[in-house]
Amino acid sequence: AQSVTQPGIHITVSEGASLELRCNYSYGATPYLFWYVQSPGQGLQLLLKYFSGDTLVQGIKGFEAEFKRSQSSFNLRKPSVHWSDAAEYFCAVGPGNQFYFGTGTSLTVIP
Amino acid sequence: DTAVSQTPKYLVTQMGNDKSIKCEQNLGHDTMYWYKQDSKKFLKIMFSYNNKELIINETVPNRFSPKSPDKAHLNLHINSLELGDSAVYFCASSQQGMGTEAFFGQGTRLTVV
């Protein structure tokens, strides 16, 4: 069965520091992987996605993620965090017309 | 121009009432979804429709009944509301096919008192 694990529930970083959010997935076939961001009171916005090809994908707002098949991981990174990045981040796996989400990681950014 | 729109944004109602949430997408997608987000932010898929046909029905109480009058609309009707139904409900849509992402509405915060 497909599943997504996000180990960090709450993460606090200083503004300007680098960020890495972890995501591990379980899926029997080629995974289609996504990172979404949810700002308070808002819906989910797609940051980036991986389908095939280059394992390092670039997204919006300066985010990138790297797919590592051997580790079943799709970690999200940003070299320098801004205060506006404070939000909930969700990793998802989508085998077509179904999307399964991780439990989310809440990011707090301190000045 | 909103891609996936839900109404209402907030819904406060008493236990035992029946309520509906409406969703419309103008992206031309053929698949629509309802997700429930609980107080811990966990997102759980409830239903998925493809071209007005139900294709996913997770373990959701029978009190929840989706209805898709056309492929641009997916409504959610809830009968006999319970306190535990309080959550944020998200509608989403995608185009069928491998690797396409889902687009989400702004959510409906349902509070049952």
CATH number at residue B82: 2.60.40.10
Look at residue B60 and give its three-state secondary structure. Answer: coil
> Which residue numbers of B have CB closer than 8 Å to A's CBs?
4, 31, 33, 35, 40-45, 48, 50, 55-56, 90, 92, 94, 96-107
Number of domains forming the structure of chain A:
1
Residue A98 belongs to domain spanning: 3-110
Is B103 part of a structural domain of the chain? no
- Strands B108-112 vs B10-13: parallel, antiparallel or unpaired: parallel
CA of A101 vs chain B CAs: smallest distance (Å): 6
In tens digits, chain B (113 residues) has pLDDT values of: 679 999 999 999 999 999 999 999 999 999 999 999 999 889 999 999 988 888 877 788 999 999 999 989 999 999 999 999 999 999 999 987 767 889 999 999 999 99
Identify the CA nearest to A77 among candidates A94, A92, A106, A57. A57
Task: Check B94 against A97: CB less than 8 A apart.
Answer: yes
To the nearest whole angstrom, how far is the Cα of B103 from the nearest Cα of chain A?
7
**CB contact, 8 Å: A27 with chain B?**
no
* CATH code at position A18: 2.60.40.10
| Residue B102, domain member (yes or no) | no
- Count the domains in chain B: 1
Task: Provide the residue range defining the domain that includes B21.
Answer: 4-97+108-112
What pLDDT does residue B57 have? 77
Please state the rounded mean pLDDT for residues A74-94: 96
- At residue B1, the pLDDT reads 67
- Tell me the C-alpha distance between A49 and A51, whole Å: 7
